[in-house]
Amino acid sequence: MHLHCRLGLTLMSCAMLLTATAAMAEPVKLSLSNPKGDVSLWMESSLKRIFPKSPPGDTATRTLDAARNQKLSFQIGINNQALHPATAEVKTTAPEGIGVQIRRVGYVPMHHMTPGTRPEELDGVDYLPGLVPDPLFPEQKVQVGPLESQSFWVTVDVATTATPGTYNIPFDVLFVHDKTSTTLTAEVNVHEFTINKRKDFPVTHWWRPSSIYNHYEVEPWSDEWFTITEKYIRDMVEHGSNVVLVNTLEVRREVFRQPNQMLTITKDGDKYNFDYSVVRKFVHMAKDAGMEYFEWPHLWIYWGVKNPMVVYKKTDKGYELYFPLDSDGFAPEYIDFLKQYLDSLHAFLKEEGLLEKSFFHLSDEPSHGEHYERYKKARGILKDIAPWMKVMDALSHIDYGKNGVTDIPVPLITTAKQFKDAGIPHWAYYCCAPTGDYVNRFMDTPLPKVRMTGMLLYRLGADGFLHWGYNYWDKIEQDHPLDVYVQGDAGAWPGIPYGDPFVVYPGENGPVSSTRWEIFAESLQDYAMLQTAGINPDDTLLQEIQDYHIFPKTEGWILKTVEEILKRKPQQGQ
């Protein structure tokens, strides 16, 4: 049954009829006076992307089961089959104990699908390459063109103090041109279960200070930079990150005109001087924003443990390198620098009380063979000059863990289960790989797969999670900023799939979130929910999860599992 609200109906009678239709859980259709055709409204899961050519959904209501202290989401879809644009605005009034945020879902171009992935493991195969829904703009109004769909992303935030029970949240949709309106209703069933703060599971996303000062055209480390950057750090915390990388040194090997090095390094004869003023200010800001742990840059450049990190000095001509890019990473002059730097870092960490809250790196993504031998050599040097330091690195060959060469191995999810089966404590990561059946969060990764990340990490025994791409808004390996609203692959597809380099976009005064970032955050809530309930990772509830590529990938399984968790009582003392 379709209901048509025509101009001849009064606004009140139209609204009454539309409310009746919503109660019958059918889509709402409007025929506006100017366009020739229907405009359909529906409520959609947040785990199903609405593309420009997506057809209308089949329901005008949405029911959500929620714990206290949980954020969850859904969408309001609008499909315009008329010949002229239709402008719609959505408003709501949230009941006490429930917060509601409405954002417009924007589209960005995706020129190529993720390689090496079967169609059934991709989202949008009927619509992509093309426009993909990803950025979430802080807007409650949208213009829907002829023969297209648009959507709003609705985030429901249930307070810890919310009284258990059923809450009806009305969403008034006004079509500006005709001044016709209707009300859709979401039903939120709040359970007694309260999600406790996740503990003992660090999550880090590497970020780029330069992306912020380049985009906003502010001076690095200025008050303006700190004001904007704080919003990004708080955004990380709000989405489940609790570790922040502190860029004392530049972590990339490409040379920048203005590097990401927060530490001012000067040299007087053989003695290096280290000014921690910017580092200290950043650490204090990050702590105030809610960060619990601090991560410090690598000491040898990635992919080989062969060369020094890119260390900058400021001169009258700009920034120059202390050590040429191709210099020997084990040369005496570099080891001398490392000793002095690490002595200064150790003193700073003790002074700030951060030593027990810090993670340290040696070199990123070494392989086996010569890489392994150089890594062992570098680890021996660190044990000599910095015996207080334990190291963690993204590396996937199990010998690093079996032989204790690195203290905290961070394997790619393709090999992480090998570490688990061998009883080796480890974190896990994914990045531009793996593709295929594995979990990831590219722009065409089905959102149910993204949502499974937290449950996978919990079930498969990872002790933490790492990702490289929070806001990499540059062309890869170049000092060349990109417009990520236009180019989502760092200019490097097929090596880097769309969406991998970043999860937030630059907004007017701070971050613009993405659908992928919101769902990833919800996946970390699932982790906290499992932890709060005290569920054993080997519980039958999770037995269908076998590996990071063998796991349930449907919304139905997720909802059923969450429903079962909500029936359990939180562990005492959590």
- Rounded average pLDDT over 191-201: 97
Over residues 330-344, the mean pLDDT reads 98
Average pLDDT on 112-131 reads 98
CB 204 within 8 A of CB 465: yes
The C-alpha atoms of residue 378 and residue 388 are separated, in whole angstroms, by 15
- pLDDT single digits (tens) 524-539: 999 999 999 999 999 9
Q: In the prediction, which pLDDT does 10 show? A: 30
Statement: residue 101 has pLDDT above 60: yes
Tens digits of residue pLDDT in 453-489 = 999 999 999 999 999 999 999 999 899 999 999 999 9
Q: What is the pTM of this model?
A: 0.93
CA distance 151 to 54: 10
Mean pLDDT of 334-359: 98
Position 185 pLDDT exceeds 80: yes
Band the pLDDT of 29: cuts 50, 70, 90: low
pLDDT category of residue 316 using cuts at 50, 70 and 90:
confident
d(CA 71, CA 87): 28
Averaged pLDDT score across all residues of the chain: 92
Query: What's the average model confidence in pLDDT over 352-380?
Result: 97
For position 4, what pLDDT does the model report?
A: 30
Report the share of the chain in percent with pLDDT over 70.
93
From residue 116, how far is each of 120, 122, 131, 438, 551 by CA, in Å?
12, 10, 21, 11, 19
CA nearest to 201, candidates 286, 295, 292: 292
Task: Examine the pLDDT at 416 and tell me if it is beyond 70.
Answer: yes
Determine the pLDDT at residue 254: 87
Q: What is the mean pLDDT of residues 59-65?
A: 89
| pLDDT given for residue 312 in this prediction | 96
Query: In this predicted structure, what is the pLDDT of residue 54?
Result: 97
493-507, pLDDT tens digit by residue?
A: 999 999 999 999 999
Residue 572 banded pLDDT, cuts 50, 70, 90 = low
Average pLDDT over residues 159-185: 93
Query: pLDDT tens-digit profile of 216-262?
Result: 999 999 999 999 999 999 999 999 999 999 999 999 988 888 899 99
Q: Which pLDDT does position 361 carry in this prediction?
A: 98
Residue 352 predicted with pLDDT over 90: yes
**Band of the pLDDT at 513, cuts 50, 70, 90?**
very high
Half-sphere exposure of 540 (CA within 13 A, CB side): 1
Whose CA is closest to 214, among 469, 472, 514, 491? 472
Q: Provide the strand spans (E) within 176-263.
A: 180-194, 203-205, 243-245
Question: In this model, does residue 20 exceed pLDDT 80?
Answer: no
| Mean pLDDT on 124-147 | 97
Average pLDDT over residues 327-345: 98
Predicted pLDDT at 58: 85
For residues 295 and 245, is the Cβ–Cβ distance under 8 A? Answer: yes
pLDDT of residue 12: 30
Per-residue pLDDT band for 9 (boundaries 50, 70, 90) equals very low
CA gap 50, 126 in Å, rounded: 12
